Amino acid sequence: MACTHLKERKDVKPKTKGCEECLKTGDPWVKLRMCLSCGHVGCCDSSKNTHATKHFKATKHPIMRSAEPGETWEWCYVDKEYVAE
C-alpha cells in the first residue's frame, strides 16, 4: 500500500538538538527522530521513553524521519511503513 500522508510533510527544522522531553528530564536516548509536521525531536522506540512515538500518539502527525547524521529514511506511523517520494 502506498502512503497517502506524504503531502502532509513540511519543510521543518528541528526544534532542539536532542530529544525535547529527555533534555528537560536529563534522560539519555538511543537515536533521534524528527516530526515532519512540526519539527519536534523525540527519541526512538529503542530509547526508554519512546518520545517520538508518544508525540505521534498525542498529535497524530503521521511522518517522521531519522534525525541521525547520514540517515535520510522516513516512517509513516499511520501506514506503519517506510516512505519515500
Domain count across the chain: 1
Return the residue matching grid coordinates 521543518.
12
Q: Domain limits at 42?
A: 6-83
> For position 2, what pLDDT does the model report?
80
CATH of the domain at 77: 3.30.40.10
The per-residue pLDDT for 85 is 56
Does any domain span residue 1? Answer: no
Q: What is the pLDDT of residue 30?
A: 98
User: Is 17 within the bounds of a domain?
Assistant: yes
User: What residues in the chain have per-residue pLDDT under 70?
Assistant: 1, 85
Residues listed for the chain: 85
Is the distance from CB of 72 to CB of 66 less than 8 angstroms? Answer: yes
Give residues with Cβ within 8 angstroms of 20, minimum separation 6. 40, 41, 42, 51
Give a yes or no: residue 14 inside a domain: yes
pLDDT the model gives residue 1? 62
Q: What is the pLDDT of residue 35?
A: 98
| Integer Cα distance of 85 and 15 in angstroms | 24
